[in-house]
């Protein structure tokens, strides 16, 4: 079937495998019948596999760590290991031409888009600026998500 998936004809497959064209066509017909009857399913396409992996937005003040990018990659790997796709706020790169409020607007829009595309928001709400006070940006993201 792999050769057929690559676009080769039954004739080419038969020649490649050293089998008769009739034998290859019969095998194709048997496989199609088994798929139609629900006895086997074709392998999912890469886009189908990706669509079945829930997206998790990884919110938190971790973006202020000195090793924030590396930490984000670590969190995303933990997600991958468990069948999820991690979306980290620092995945995007702020255009170098933006400064101050323009950069803040860009970050806001990029993170809102990530939250909207996520199936789950996982937030680090540990104390940030003192006892009982999580990062205000993270609190906003959680509020926006719900």
Q: Domain coordinates of the chain in residue numbers?
A: 2-43, 48-145
The domain made up of 48-145 has a fold known as Rossmann fold (3.40.50)
Q: What is the pLDDT of residue 61?
A: 96
- With a cut of 80, say whether residue 42 has pLDDT above it: no
Dihedral pair phi/psi, residue 123, rounded to 5°: -120, 140
Q: Tell me: the pLDDT tens digits for 43-99? A: 778 787 777 889 999 999 999 999 999 999 999 999 999 999 999 999 989 999 999
Q: What is the pLDDT of residue 56?
A: 97
- Cβ within 8 Å of residue 128, ≥6 positions away: 61, 134, 135, 138
- The mean pLDDT value for 120-142 works out to 94
Tell me how far apart the alpha carbons of residues 77 and 138 are, in angstroms, rounded to a whole number. 21
What is the model's pTM?
0.67
Give the DSSP letter of residue 83: T
**Comparing C-alpha atoms, which of 47, 48, 43 is closest to residue 31?**
43
């Amino acid at each position: 079937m792999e050769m057929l998936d690559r676009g080769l004809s039954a004739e080419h497959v038969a020649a490649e495998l050293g089998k008769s064209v009739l034998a290859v066509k019969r095998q194709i017909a048997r496989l199609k019948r088994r798929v139609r009857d629900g006895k086997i399913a074709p392998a999912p396409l890469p886009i189908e596999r990706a669509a079945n992996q829930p997206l998790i937005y990884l919110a938190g003040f971790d973006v202020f760590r000195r090793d924030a990018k590396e930490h984000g990659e670590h969190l995303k790997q933990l997600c991958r290991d468990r069948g999820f796709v991690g979306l980290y706020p620092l995945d995007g790169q702020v255009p170098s031409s933006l400064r101050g409020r323009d950069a803040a607007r860009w970050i806001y829009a990029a993170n809102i888009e990530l939250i909207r595309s996520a199936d789950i928001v996982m937030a680090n709400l540990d104390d940030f600026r003192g006892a009982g006070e999580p990062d205000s940006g993270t609190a906003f993201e959680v509020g926006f998500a719900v």
